[in-house]
Chain A
Amino acid sequence: MKNFALGKYVPFDSLVHRVDPRVKIFATIALLVAIFLPQETYSMTFLVEGVLFLLALTLLFISHVRFRDILLSLRSLWFLVIFLLVIYIVVPKKENVLGIAWNLNGWIVYWDAFAEAGKIVLRLVTMIMVTMVLTATTKPLDLTYALEWYMTPLKVVRFPAAEVAMTVSIALRFIPTLLEDASRVMKAQASRGVDFEHGRLWQKITGLTALIIPLFVSSFLRSEELANAMECRGYDPRKKRTRYRTFRLHVRDVLGLLLVAAILAGVIVLLAMHIDLFALWGIHAL
C-alpha cells in the first residue's frame, strides 16, 4: 500500500520543483494536448511523439525521479501493449501503407498494425511521464492551492473555490493518518483472532466490518475535533484568507510557459499547415 510510484512526491530542490505549480499545471495540460494531436503520416507522428518523449524524459531526469520509479509506473502498461497489438492484428485498417509483414495462407498482417499500436503506446507512455513530472515535483498542498487559483474565476457563479481547496487539502493530509489508524485497528482485531489473510470468506467479511466500523468512528471523532480546533482559531470559510506561501511568477516560470506554448503552437502549426518535414528535406517517408 505504501509503495505506489505513480503520483508520489519526490522531495528535492530541482529547477522543475521550483517552477510555480500553476505554470506546471498549465504546462502539463498543454503538453498532453500536444501529445494527443494526430499527425498525418507515421513518420511525422513518431518524430513529434519522439521529441515529446525525450522532453518528458529530460524533465524527469532534471527532477531527480529515480529510473526505477519510472519503470514501476509504466509496468502496468504491458498488458495494454499486448492487447492493442492483438486488436490491430486481428482487425486491420482499410488502407495499409507500410506493406505486408507476413502472409500465412491468406492471413495477412500489415506492418501498420504494429505502427498503430506503437503510436498509442508511445503516447500513453509519454502522457504518464508528463503527469509524473507534475506529481513528482509538486507537493499535494501546492497542487490544491494552484487548483484553487484556477477555480477563482468560478467565484463569480458562487462556486466555493476556497472551501473546495481546503477540503481537498485536508483529505490529502489525512491519508497517512488514516493508514496509520487502519494498521492499528487491524493489529488490535488480529489480537482478537481475526485472520485478515487466511480464513474463510465469511470470516474475512466480518473481519472487514471489524476494521471499517472503528475506522469510521475514529474518523468522525477526528473530523469533529478538527472542526472545533479550526473554529477556535477563527476559521470562517466565507472570509478571504491570506497565505503564508504566495505564488509569484519568476523569470523561470515565464520561460517555462513560453517553451511549452511554443511546443504546443509548433505541433498545431505542423498539423494545420499539413507540413511534412521529411518531404521538405527531400526524404520520402510514409
Chain B
Amino acid sequence: MPITFRDVSFTYAAKTPFSYEALKGINLQIDEGDFVAIVGRTGCGKSTLIQHMNALLNPSQGCVEIDDFHNDSDKKKRTKKVKPLRQKVGMVFQFPEYQLFEETVEKDVAFAPKNFGMKPEEALQKAHEALGEVGLDESFYTRSPFELSGGEKRRVAIAGILAASPEFLVVDEPTAGLDPKGAETMMDLFRSIHEKGTTIILVTHDMDLVLKYCNKVIVIDDGEVAEITTPDHLFDVDVERYSLQSPLLFSFASSLLKGGLAIERDQVSDVPSLAKEIARCIR
C-alpha cells in the first residue's frame, strides 16, 4: 500500500504572531518498492513533510493515508492507534546516534521491537538479525553503545529501527558527517534493505546519491511540491532553480551525449555504469 498525501498543509505555531506555514497543499504518492529521494533547499519543509508519514505531526489541513491509517487534520477522522503505524513506517532521524540510551547494544536495538509488542527473546533475535544486517558482529552485542565510534553508533541506531521490520524506511541525511567510504557503505546498506523489499524514502542534499540509488525524486520548494520526476529528468532540466546542482557524473555523461556518443543516460548512475555505457558505445 502506498503513502498518499492529499492536500496536506501544516502551520507551525498557528494563531500566534510566530505562525509559519511550512507545507502548502502537498499532493504526492510514494509507492511500495520505491527508492524515493526528497530534495530541496534548507528550510523548504522536507523534515516537516516526513514527520507526517508516521504521525509525529498531524496536518493542519488535508490527510495522509498509509494503508488503513488516516493521519487527518480532523481529529475525528484520525486513526487513534499510532503504534502500528510507527512500526510500519520506520524513521531514522538526522544524527540518529543521539537516541541511544541502553546499557548494551543489543538491548538498545531490541527496544523498538519490544515496544511494538514482541516478546523479549523474540525482540533480541530480531536485534541480532538487524545488527547483522548493518554489519556489526556478535562482539558488539554486549558492549555499551557509548563506547563505540561515531559510525558504529549510527549503525546501531539504524539497526534499532530495522529491528522493528518496517515496510517503509524514512532516512534523513544518513550520510551527514561520515567519511566518503563510510557514506558509501551506509548507502549500500540501504540499497540491500531496499532489495529485500523495504520502501526507502531518503532525504538528502547529495545529488550523487540521488543519481546513484533513487528511482524517483520529489523536489520540495517553499513548502510545495515543485516536481515529482526521475533523477535523469530532474538533472536534465533547470535544477539550479531549486538550489540543487547536477552531479558531475551526470554533466559528464550529458557532455558525452552532446558530443555525439550515443550513450543511454538513464542507465548511468555511478562510475562503473558510465564506464559500461561508454564501452558499449565505442565497441
How far, in whole Å, are A75 and B47 apart by their CA atoms in the complex?
37
Given contacts A210-B111, A217-B146, contact A191 B98 (CB under 8 A): no
Q: What range describes how many residues of A lie at the interface?
A: 10 to 19
Given contacts A184-B93, A187-B56, contact A193 B86 (CB under 8 A): yes
Given contacts A187-B51, A190-B86, A217-B146, contact A209 B112 (CB under 8 A): no
Contact in complex: B115, A191 (CB < 8 Å)? no
Tell me how far the C-beta of B146 lies from the nearest C-beta in chain A, rounded to whole angstroms: 7
Tell me how far the C-beta of B46 lies from the nearest C-beta in chain A, rounded to whole angstroms: 15
Q: Does B59 contact A (CB under 8 A)?
A: no
Contact in complex: B99, A193 (CB < 8 Å)? no
Q: Does B252 contact A (CB under 8 A)?
A: no
Q: How many residues of B contact A (CB 8 A)?
A: 24
How far, in whole Å, are A210 and B110 apart by their CA atoms in the complex?
13
Given contacts A187-B51, A214-B100, contact A192 B112 (CB under 8 A): yes
Interface residues of B in 138-172 (CB under 8 A from A): 146, 160-161, 164
State the A residues within 8 Å of B (CB). Answer: 184-185, 187-195, 203, 209-210, 213-214, 217-218
Jot down 28 A-B pairs with beta carbons below 8 A, ordered by A. Answer: A185-B98, A188-B96, A188-B98, A188-B99, A189-B99, A190-B56, A191-B90, A191-B161, A192-B86, A192-B115, A192-B161, A192-B164, A193-B83, A193-B86, A193-B112, A193-B114, A193-B115, A193-B116, A193-B164, A194-B115, A195-B82, A209-B101, A210-B111, A213-B101, A214-B98, A214-B99, A217-B98, A218-B98
Write out the residue numbers on chain A whose beta carbons fall within 8 Å of the beta carbon of B116. 193
State the B residues within 8 Å of A (CB). Answer: 51, 54, 56, 82-83, 86-87, 90-91, 93, 96, 98-101, 111-112, 114-116, 146, 160-161, 164
- Looking at chain A's contact residues, is the secondary structure mostly helix, strand, loop, or mixed? helix
How far, in whole Å, are A195 and B93 apart by their CA atoms in the complex?
18
Write out the residue numbers on chain B whose beta carbons fall within 8 Å of the beta carbon of A195. 82-83
Write out the residue numbers on chain A whose beta carbons fall within 8 Å of the beta carbon of B82. 195
How far, in whole Å, are A195 and B54 apart by their CA atoms in the complex?
13
Contact in complex: A187, B93 (CB < 8 Å)? yes
